[in-house]
Chain A
C-alpha cells in the first residue's frame, strides 16, 4: 500500500540523493581557479605561513584545514603544486595541464571539493530549519539541493561560494530568532568569505531597526551591531599585521587594477555603477517603508532584490550567479512564489553562458580531466558562429539579447519577491 513520505523521510531522501549527486560530480570536473586556490593552500601548508594570508580569511582557513586533512589521503606529486613566486599564484594553462594529467587527478578534485560539500549540506539543513511551512520548506530544499547554479559553481567549476552563503544563511536564521548580535557576527564572518556581501550591509543595518522600539535603544543596537561587524571584519588583518604577517602574500604587486577600478567606478567608467547605486537607494527606501514586518523578513527580501539589481545591470563570471540562489529560496518562508522565476533563471543563465563563455566554462575545459571536448561541439561560440549565426543575427547580438532577457528575469524575480503576500507577513 502507498505510504506518503513524512517530513523526516523527505529530508533524508532529498539530502541523500543530493549528496550522491554531488559525490558523482566531484572527482570529474575542474576549473583552473580550483587548482590556483589549491596551490595557494599547499604553499601555506608547506611553508608554515599560517598567519600570513589575509585575503578571504575564513574561506582560506577552512580550505587549509581540509587540505591538511586531505594530506592523510593524497600523495602530492613532486612539483605539482609548487609555486616559485606566491604573488603569481594564478595558474597558467601549462601548470593546469600538468595538474589535469596527474594520475591522482580524481582524488585531488574529490578532496579539494570536500569543504564545499560540508558547507553546502549544512546550508541545506539551515534552510530546512528557517522555513516553517512543510510544503514550502520541501520545495526550498529541493531547489537548493538540485539547482544547476549551485551544482555548477561548486562541483563543476569548483568555487567556494557555498561557504559564504552558509554564513549568510546562518545570519538570517539568527535574525529570525531576533538574535541581533549573533546575526551581525555571522554576517561579518560572511564578509570575510566574499567581499560582495558588503552590498547587503546597509540592508542588514536597516533591518535591525525596530520601529516600535525607542530610538535610543535602536541607536545602541545599531552601533553595537556595526561595531561587531567592523571588528570581526577588520580584526584578522590587524592581528596579522601586528604579528608581522604578510597580508599581501598572494597579491601581485604589479597589478594596479583595484586603484584604476575605483577611479573608473566613480567617473562613469562602468556603465552599470550608477543604475545599481540608484536602484539600491530605492530599495533601501522600500525596506524602510515595510518597517512593520519582522527583521528577518525585511533583511531576506531586501537581500534577494539587492542581487537582482546587481545582476540585472552587470555580468560577471558564470559561477557568481550562485549568489542569486539563497535569499530567494528562503523568501518562501514569507509566501513568495519563486519557483517559476527560478526555472526562468536557470534557462536564461545556461543559454547566456553558453554564448558568453570562455574555454573554461561550458566547453573545452569543463570536464578536462576526462576530455577537452565534453559536449562534442568544441568551443560553443565558434559552433554558434558557424552553424547558427547569420549576417543579421551575430554572436554579439545573441549575447546582448540574452543579457536583456536576463534583466527581464531579474525584474520578474524582483516582482515576485516584492509582491505583497499579506497572509504571510511576520510582525516586528
Chain B
C-alpha cells in the first residue's frame, strides 16, 4: 500500500471521527436547557406543569443569572403553592445539596422575589434545589426558570426568609451548656429555673440550635424534681432535625425512679442521628416532656455532649431507655447492635448455646441407643 493511500485513508477516518463528534455534541447541547431541571416525586403533566406524587418533592434547576452578587431570587410557581412552606438549598457539590445551607420561606402570592443573604456568590454553573414541604396535593406551574437578580423584577412581591441557615455550628471538643433562660415553657408557669405544672401537656423547648450532629453524643439534663406519688415516671425527649419536626417517631423516653434527694440527672444519647441511615445532619431544636408531678420544678442544667466526652456521661445514660428512631441501623452498625444485645447478657447467651448443643447431643445419643 502506498504512502499516499494510507494518508488518504487516515484523513477520511479523521473526518469521520470529527463528524461523529460534531453530531454527538450537537445532540448533547441541544438538550442542555431541558436537562438542567431535575425533579423528584414530581410528575410532569404538561411541559410547564408538575404534580406532586411522593413524599419528597423537589426541583433542581440552574437559575437564569443577571448578577453574581444577586440580592433576589425571582420565582413564579403558580397559585397552588401560596402559603406552602418552601426551602431553597443553595450550596451543592455535584447536586448533593448541603442541609447546612438553606433558606426557608413561604410565599403569599407569585411572582415572588426571595431576599438572599448578601454574602453568597453565585456563578453561571450554580444549581439550586427547591423543596416543597407539607403539601401532598399541590401542583406547580414552572413557565420560566427562576432568575437571580440585583433588583426585584416586574411586579414580584418581596419575600423575607422565615429562616436562613448559612453554615452550621459544630460541637467543639467540650460539651456545650445550653442557656437555661432561653427555653420556652408549655403548660408550665414560672421560669425555666423555677416552675410549676399548670396544665396537662407540660414540656420545655430549647432555643434554635442549628447544630451539626457529627460529633454529638447526646443531651444531658439535670432537674430539680418534686416528690412523686408514684414510683416510676417517664421523661421524653423529642428532637427536631432538618428532616422532621417534633414527633413521637423521633423521640426517646427515660423511666426514672422517684428521686430521694429531689435531683434527677440523665443523658439521652443522640449519636445515632449521624451514624444510622437515613442520617440527620442538623439538630435544630430539642423538647423535654416531663411527668405531671405537682410541686416546684427547676431545669438546673442542659448540655450538649461531645462524643469525646461520652465516657464521662456513660453513667448518666438510663438503664430504662426507649429510643424510637426514624433512622435504622444497617450493615456493620446492625451487626454491632445485634452483638451488643448478645453481649449485654453474656451469661444467658453462653447458657443458651450450651443448651442447644447439649440437646442436640442428647438427641443423637438417644437415637443411637434405640437402634
> Footprint of B on A, CB under 8 Å?
3, 6, 8-9, 12-13, 16-17, 19-20, 23-24, 27, 77-80, 82, 84, 94, 97-98, 101-107, 110, 369-371, 373
Name the contact of A94 in the complex, choosing from B234, B319, B352 (C-beta under 8 A).
B234
Q: Give the complex CA separation of A9 and B367 in angstroms.
A: 5
Q: List 8 A-B contacts (CB under 8 A).
A: A9-B370, A13-B363, A27-B348, A94-B253, A98-B320, A101-B320, A101-B322, A373-B328
Shortest CB-to-CB span from B41 to chain A, Å, is: 14
Known: A12-B363, A16-B363. A82 touches B348 (CB 8 A): no
Q: Give the complex CA separation of A23 and B360 in angstroms.
A: 11
A103, closest chain B residue (CB)? B344
Query: Which B residues lie within 8 Å of A12 (CB)?
Result: 363, 366-367, 370
Contact B366 A16, beta carbon cutoff 8 Å: yes
Shortest CB-to-CB span from A105 to chain B, Å, is: 8
Q: Give the complex CA separation of A77 and B321 in angstroms.
A: 12
Shortest CB-to-CB span from A30 to chain B, Å, is: 13
B257 within 8 A of A: yes
Contact A23 B356, beta carbon cutoff 8 Å: yes
Q: Give the complex CA separation of A232 and B5 in angstroms.
A: 113
Name the contact of B255 in the complex, choosing from A17, A20, A79, A370 (C-beta under 8 A).
A79
Q: Give the complex CA separation of A82 and B234 in angstroms.
A: 13
Query: Which B residues lie within 8 Å of A3 (CB)?
Result: 371
A23, closest chain B residue (CB)? B356
Query: Which B residues lie within 8 Å of A23 (CB)?
Result: 352, 355-356, 359
Total number of A-B contacts with CB less than 8 angstroms? 87
Query: Which B residues lie within 8 Å of A104 (CB)?
Result: 344-345, 348
Shortest CB-to-CB span from A14 to chain B, Å, is: 10
Contact B359 A19, beta carbon cutoff 8 Å: yes
Q: Give the complex CA separation of A9 and B271 in angstroms.
A: 54
Shortest CB-to-CB span from B357 to chain A, Å, is: 10
Q: Give the complex CA separation of A13 and B368 in angstroms.
A: 10
- Residues in B92-112 with C-beta less than 8 Å from chain A: none
> Footprint of A on B, CB under 8 Å?
230-232, 234, 253, 255, 257, 319-324, 328, 334, 338, 341, 344-345, 348-349, 352, 355-356, 359-360, 362-363, 366-367, 370-371
Contact B348 A77, beta carbon cutoff 8 Å: no
Contact A106 B348, beta carbon cutoff 8 Å: yes
Q: Give the complex CA separation of A3 and B370 in angstroms.
A: 12
Query: Which B residues lie within 8 Å of A373 (CB)?
Result: 328
Q: Give the complex CA separation of A370 and B328 in angstroms.
A: 12
Shortest CB-to-CB span from A83 to chain B, Å, is: 10
| Beyond A98-B253, A107-B345, A369-B341, 16 extra complex contacts between A and B, CB < 8 Å | A6-B371, A9-B371, A16-B366, A16-B367, A23-B359, A77-B319, A94-B234, A94-B322, A101-B323, A102-B320, A103-B319, A103-B341, A103-B345, A104-B344, A106-B341, A106-B352
Query: Which A residues lie within 8 Å of B323 (CB)?
Result: 101
Known: A3-B371, A94-B253, A101-B321. A20 touches B348 (CB 8 A): no
B349, closest chain A residue (CB)? A106
Q: Give the complex CA separation of A27 and B321 in angstroms.
A: 21
With a 10 A CB-CB cut-off, give which of B338, B345, B360 has the most chain A CB atoms: B345
Name the contact of A8 in the complex, choosing from B334, B345, B360, B370 (C-beta under 8 A).
B370
B340, closest chain A residue (CB)? A103
Shortest CB-to-CB span from B291 to chain A, Å, is: 12
Which 8 pairs between the two chains have the least Cβ-Cβ distance?
A16-B363, A103-B344, A97-B322, A107-B348, A8-B370, A79-B232, A12-B366, A104-B345
Query: Which B residues lie within 8 Å of A20 (CB)?
Result: 356, 359-360, 363
Query: Which A residues lie within 8 Å of B356 (CB)?
Result: 20, 23-24
A101, closest chain B residue (CB)? B322
Q: Give the complex CA separation of A12 and B289 in angstroms.
A: 57
Name the contact of A79 in the complex, choosing from B231, B321, B370, B371 (C-beta under 8 A).
B231
Contact B319 A13, beta carbon cutoff 8 Å: no
Q: Give the complex CA separation of A107 and B341 in angstroms.
A: 11
Query: Which A residues lie within 8 Å of B366 (CB)?
Result: 12, 16
Query: Which B residues lie within 8 Å of A105 (CB)?
Result: 341, 345
Contact A27 B232, beta carbon cutoff 8 Å: no
Query: Which B residues lie within 8 Å of A97 (CB)?
Result: 253, 322, 324
Query: Which A residues lie within 8 Å of B355 (CB)?
Result: 23
Contact B345 A17, beta carbon cutoff 8 Å: no
Query: Which A residues lie within 8 Å of B321 (CB)?
Result: 101
Query: Which B residues lie within 8 Å of A369 (CB)?
Result: 341
Q: Give the complex CA separation of A84 and B321 in angstroms.
A: 19
Q: Give the complex CA separation of A19 and B359 in angstroms.
A: 8
Q: Give the complex CA separation of A104 and B341 in angstroms.
A: 8
A373, closest chain B residue (CB)? B328
